């Protein structure tokens, strides 16, 4: 216990991943991970600031929060840093009109975004929409641009649902990067800017917060690169030594 006390000395806030840490997703629903509802409640009763930091890109922020509330979590939309709202701000600030290769579940997040005559591509965990036709359309849009812009909502390799491991957006991003000879801009973990925006909402410096997640690259590695401390849980996509993804 003393060792843990030393490691967490000075921590004033906790950033929590959602998928694989609080719950495992299922078709249209989810299952809380044992003890997670109680853990969140206990954190909120403490003196620590709590914020949720997710790469979820198959559910709108509203739908995600409502699902978590139904599962018993004490959570509100204002406590969540999510990639779709952050991406919309970037698109508006830079005057970008995206071709959207995304899941229907988050399409409503982009209702106020001009998608005519695309001058960039936004890619997320599109699930069944990752067809050859849609990937090729994204490729064509990028190749026709003088300065192609590819924005990815996270860059995870895989995640866990109750049915098993699921391929994430990162694999498809890599395909477009390779084909087009470009590098995607990541809005989400492990981007340092994404962690910094969450810390800003908490009013904390990086050294005052700890990130808790199941992804050794996106959660733990990303947080550490930002100057935060980080803990990996043994739930979700966690794999025993020898099966963990390595940093690119």
* pTM higher than 0.75: yes
Alpha-carbon span 219 to 211, nearest angstrom: 7
Alpha-carbon span 2 to 182, nearest angstrom: 47
Contacts of 210 (CB under 8 A, 6+ apart): 8, 11, 13, 14, 15, 223, 228, 229, 230, 231
The pLDDT of residue 1 is 46
Domain spans of the chain, in order of start: 4-82+189-232, 83-187
Q: What is the CATH number of domain 83-187?
A: 3.40.50.1000
Q: What is the CATH number of domain 4-82+189-232?
A: 3.40.50.1000
Contacts of 202 (CB under 8 A, 6+ apart): 13, 15, 49, 51, 209
The pLDDT of residue 5 is 65
Tens digit of pLDDT per residue, the chain (248 long)?
456 666 778 899 999 999 999 999 877 788 999 999 999 999 999 999 999 999 999 999 999 999 999 999 999 999 999 999 999 999 999 999 999 999 999 999 999 999 999 999 999 999 999 999 999 999 999 999 999 999 999 999 998 888 888 999 999 999 999 999 999 999 999 999 999 999 999 999 999 999 999 999 999 999 999 999 999 999 998 876 645 554 44
Alpha-carbon span 185 to 85, nearest angstrom: 15
Beta bridge partners of 161: 25, 164
The pLDDT of residue 9 is 83
CA angle 66, 115, 80 (to 5 degrees): 25
Alpha-carbon span 103 to 183, nearest angstrom: 22
The pLDDT of residue 248 is 43
Is residue 192 within 8 Å of residue 222, measured between CB atoms? Answer: yes
The pLDDT of residue 160 is 85
H/E stretch holding 177: helix 169-180
H/E stretch holding 229: strand 229-232
């Amino acid at each position: 216990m003393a060792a843990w006390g030393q490691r967490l000395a000075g921590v004033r806030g906790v950033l929590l991943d959602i998928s694989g840490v609080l719950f495992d997703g299922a078709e249209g629903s989810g299952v809380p991970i044992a003890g997670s509802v109680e853990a969140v409640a206990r954190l909120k009763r403490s003196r620590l600031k709590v914020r949720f930091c997710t790469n979820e890109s198959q559910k709108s922020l509203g739908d995600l929060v409502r699902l978590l509330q139904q599962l018993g979590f004490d959570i509100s939309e204002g406590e969540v840093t999510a990639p779709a709202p952050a991406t919309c701000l970037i698109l508006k600030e830079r005057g970008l009109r995206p071709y959207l290769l995304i899941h229907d579940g988050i399409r409503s997040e982009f209702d106020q975004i001009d998608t005519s005559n695309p001058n960039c591509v936004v890619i997320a965990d599109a699930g069944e929409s990752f067809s050859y036709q849609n990937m090729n359309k994204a490729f064509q849009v990028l190749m026709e641009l003088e300065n192609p812009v590819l924005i990815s909502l996270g860059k995870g390799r895989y995640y866990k649902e109750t049915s098993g491991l699921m391929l994430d957006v990162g694999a498809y991003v890599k395909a477009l990067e390779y084909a087009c000879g470009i590098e995607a801009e990541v809005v989400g973990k492990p981007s340092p800017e994404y962690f910094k925006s969450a810390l800003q909402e908490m009013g904390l410096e990086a050294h005052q917060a700890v990130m808790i997640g199941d992804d050794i690259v996106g959660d733990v590695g990303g947080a550490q690169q930002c100057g935060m401390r980080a803990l990996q849980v043994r739930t979700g996509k966690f794999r025993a030594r020898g099966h963990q993804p390595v940093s690119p």
